[in-house]
Amino acid sequence: MTFDYDFKMRIGASRSVVFERLLRIEHLSRWFCGWCRIDPKVGGAFKFGGETCIILPEQRSWDTTIDEGEVLRRFAFTWPIRASKTRVSYELEDRDTGKALLRVRHLGVPFEDTTCGTVQDAWRMCLGNLKSISEGRTDSVRPDHSPLTGRELRLTALIEASPSKVFGAFAEAAQLDHWSTGGQPRGNAAVEPRPGGIFSFGWDEGPVRVTEWKPDQRIALQWSRRTSDLAIVFEFEEKASGTAIYFSIGEFTDKDPQDIVRQRGRWSELFVSLKNFLESGESGFSNSYDQQVREA
């Protein structure tokens, strides 16, 4: 069994700007990998590695080959993973004046999960960072493959917006519905801003209830799932460059060791989506989460 991934991303920058960020090493190291070497022509070698890759290299680096290209429009490369010849393609078209629509496909991937979470969430994280740097903003949370210890997950994200604006993205259902879906609202989000109230991201697994609500400062939730109850905390702190969100979720059980890894990838992707929403006005994806992966 293999998996095909298909992402469509709206970017507030021209095709030429986005195309450059797909190919130049100083940009690739901010959204796609830790380091790389690339010969940007058909038949050219594309080597990349580092701890922020979507999938950690099996050796020192991934050795791939560019097999298709058209300047400012598209390029693709063959990426051998576990003896499977997966293929990544990028296609760019004009969305509006000075804006681009990027389609990214990664076909034939031999697994769904990596050591940083799911392949889908890792790609969404990377593409969210590509959107941000293409629009002249900073990158954010990157794929993290470091071993997890204990039963609690902690993450930090910095967003260039005031605490009241960041908090508002949690307090208003319409805003929550946008960034928690990556830009494809489903109308399922709900917020009752009081202890005991319902807080819904629109997910299917278990109710989430508010246990603490301090405007512009702190939100605590209780997530009752089929497998376990998890305590979720968001703390907001004003910084010179915006607002830091300190996130924690626990306590995970030992029944599913991969659960905490998947949650790390999922929440990391959500914070990148939140950053894009607050800083640019949209998270960017133009196809829904459910449409982005299929079994092949």
Backbone φ and ψ for 31, nearest 5 degrees, come out as -140, -25
Helix-strand-coil split of the chain, %, nearest 5: 25, 40, 35
Mind listing the domains of the chain with CATH numbers? 3-136 (3.30.530.20), 153-280 (3.30.530.20)
Digit-coded pLDDT (tens) for 119-143 = 999 999 999 999 999 999 999 999 9
Interatomic CA distance for residues 29 and 200, integer angstroms: 35
Please choose, from the candidates 22, 115, 147, 142, the residue with its C-alpha nearest in 3D space to the C-alpha of residue 77. Answer: 22
Helix (H, G, I), strand (E, B) or coil at 5: strand
Please choose, from the candidates 248, 180, 182, 183, the residue with its C-alpha nearest in 3D space to the C-alpha of residue 191. Answer: 180
Please choose, from the candidates 42, 9, 48, 43, the residue with its C-alpha nearest in 3D space to the C-alpha of residue 25. Answer: 48
Position 271 scores a pLDDT of 98
pTM comes to: 0.96
Position 225 scores a pLDDT of 83
Digit-coded pLDDT (tens) for 224-281 = 987 778 999 999 999 999 999 999 998 898 778 899 999 999 999 999 999 999 999 9
Interatomic CA distance for residues 274 and 51, integer angstroms: 23
| 82: confidence class by pLDDT, cuts 50, 70, 90 | very high
Strand partners, 99: 96
**Which residues touch 262 (CB under 8 Å, ≥6 apart)?**
113, 117, 118, 121
Helix (H, G, I), strand (E, B) or coil at 274: helix
Please choose, from the candidates 85, 14, 27, 138, the residue with its C-alpha nearest in 3D space to the C-alpha of residue 296. Answer: 85
